[in-house]
Structure 1
Amino acid sequence: MPAIRIYESALCCDTGVCGPDVDQSLVNVTADVRHLQGLGADIARHNLTSEPTAFTEDDMVRGFMHLVGSKGLPLTIVDGVTVATGTYPSREQLVRFAGLGEATGEAVGEATVEPRPRPDLGLTDASGGCCGGSTSCN
């Protein structure tokens, strides 16, 4: 199963439910990651505040941070391939990246959708912020 790693900027909370403004992208990715973990996917998030060593241990992430910096985060890597920068992948994209196919093996009519052997690797470049964009997480 592919390994999905999401590297995030310095966040005060991973859920997005902090401060006066809720960051819906954080709420969504928290639910999406938990959903995929429940399906057995190898997926993890790394926050620059709470896990700075995760950003230095991986050569690709370290190089990304050196060239682009934290403004390019979040960074999503699947089996060593960068698949998204500056935005979180959707649940559908994460399901594909995890090799779970269009569905999660649930019955579709009379048939069952089988997992794809490799994720569909698409690139995105939209950006988002922490705890409501430009507001702080105080």
Structure 2
Amino acid sequence: MKKMQIFEPAMCCSTGLCGVSVDPELLRISTVLSALEKNGVKVERYNLSGSPQEFVNNRVINDYIKEKGVEGLPAVVLDNEVVITGRYPSNDEFVKLLDIPDTYIAGRPVRARASKITLKKSGGCGCSGGNCC
């Protein structure tokens, strides 16, 4: 099985789904990764603020950041090779890169719905005590 890792810029929580406004792309990625995991496909996801040591330990991403800086994140590494930078893979790209059936993702884009978002009343952004990175 292919090994995919997603290295993301610093966010105040591991998924980026906290706060007042939720980025629909981060919601889509979280949903896709959850669907993949339910189908036995594990994609590792690392946030610079939550897992900085992973950025240091991974030579491929470390070299990439030295060359391009953190502005080039997110970066997708597949079998120790950077394959996508500056954005997340589309659903079709996940299927092709991981060589999996499209039914694992269901092929439908996920849309964020404001009515489904519950905001925490402490601190405004949803982070512990309102203290974002």
| TM range, smaller chain | 0.7 to 0.9
TM-score (norm 2): 0.72
Q: Superposed, which structure 2 residues align to 1:32-111 within 5 Å?
A: 32-104=32-104
Maintained 8 Å contact 2:13/2:50: no
Across the aligned residues of Structure 1 and Structure 2, the Cα RMSD in angstroms comes to 2.1
Partners in 2 of 1:16 and 1:48 — Cα distance? 12
| Identity value in percent | 31
Contact 1:95 1:102 in 2 (8 A): yes
5+ long unaligned stretches in structure 1: 107-130, 132-136
Asked if structure 2 preserves the Cα contact closer than 8 Å seen for 1:14 and 1:26, the reply is: no
- Determine if contact 1:75/1:84 at 8 Å carries over to the other structure: yes
In terms of fraction of residues, the more helix-rich structure is 2
Q: Residue 16 of structure 1 contacts residue 25 of structure 1 at CA under 8 Å; is this kept in 2?
A: no
Matched residue count: 108
TM-score scaled by structure 1?
0.70
* Structure 2 gaps, min length 5: 107-124, 126-130
Superposition misfits of 4+ residues, deviation over 2 angstroms: 13-20, 101-104
SS of residue paired to 1:6: strand
Q: What residue number does 1:122 align with?
A: none
